Amino acid sequence: MANLVIVRHGESVANQLKTYTGWSDVALTAKGRQQAHQVGRQIKDAGFQFSHVHTSLLKRAILTSYIVLEELYQLALPMTKSWRLNERHYGALRGLNKDTTRTVFGVHQVARWRRSYTAVPPLLIRSSTARRYRLVPRKSRPRGESLAQATQRLLPYWQDQVVPGLLAGQDQLIVAHGSTLRALIKVIEQISDQAIDGVEVANGEALYYQFGTDLTVLKKGRLALGSETDEEKEN
């Protein structure tokens, strides 16, 4: 048997300001750092001993990872940072206030962009040129994504980097983002395209899965309950 724990980063500045973030690199708030410490303590109390940590290339997830590992006294663990664990790319919506977009584009259109599995937000003119993505082929860098596309981006990492450890009986920790964790949950639990709309992971919340030797889910649960509102979802 092996355990997987997945954690959503603590509250970010964008969560606090109710803006779309996606691949924008924003910091944690003081509340977000507190959430990271809290979830780290709850994971410690549950007794998990991880073999590897996986996170994105975005600092809100990276810093949450470090805080959690400090609480676990497991800072020496090997860590892999991958663009495939980045948040869903919100395209030209990034940086915009969510209430403002409802006024400009309409409530139903915004709800479709945010919650539909296949809807793609307005695209950026060009993909990111940030140095952190220098090893990512330009054609693979999104200018905006649906949750379905983010799932396809995530899958190779899950299959090649996380699954082998689980099959070897090694507990794994993933610290990532609202949408990419929803995508991962969809894969693990085989949730339908329609039902995934109702799945949420709060800021600073941890979920765990216990897998059998054939990667069937034997047990699952939530370790920490966050306090986000509907407006703080995703990002």
Backbone angles phi, psi at 80, to 5 degrees: -115, 130
126-149 as b/e: b if 16+ CB within 10 A: ebbeeebbeebeeeebbbbbbbbb
Residue with tokens 């969809």: 186
Let me know if 9 is a catalytic residue. Answer: yes
Cβ burial of 86 (10 Å; 0-12, 13-18, 19+) is: buried
Taking CA atoms, 122 is separated from 91, 113, 234, in Å, by 6, 9, 17
Let me know if 71 is a catalytic residue. Answer: no
| 18 Ramachandran zone, left/alpha/beta (phi>0; psi -120 to 50) | left
User: For residues 218 and 23, is the Cβ–Cβ distance under 8 A?
Assistant: no
From the candidates 9, 54, 89, 177, give the one annotated as an active-site residue: 9
From the candidates 11, 71, 87, 145, give the one annotated as an active-site residue: 87
Question: Known catalytic residues?
Answer: 9, 87
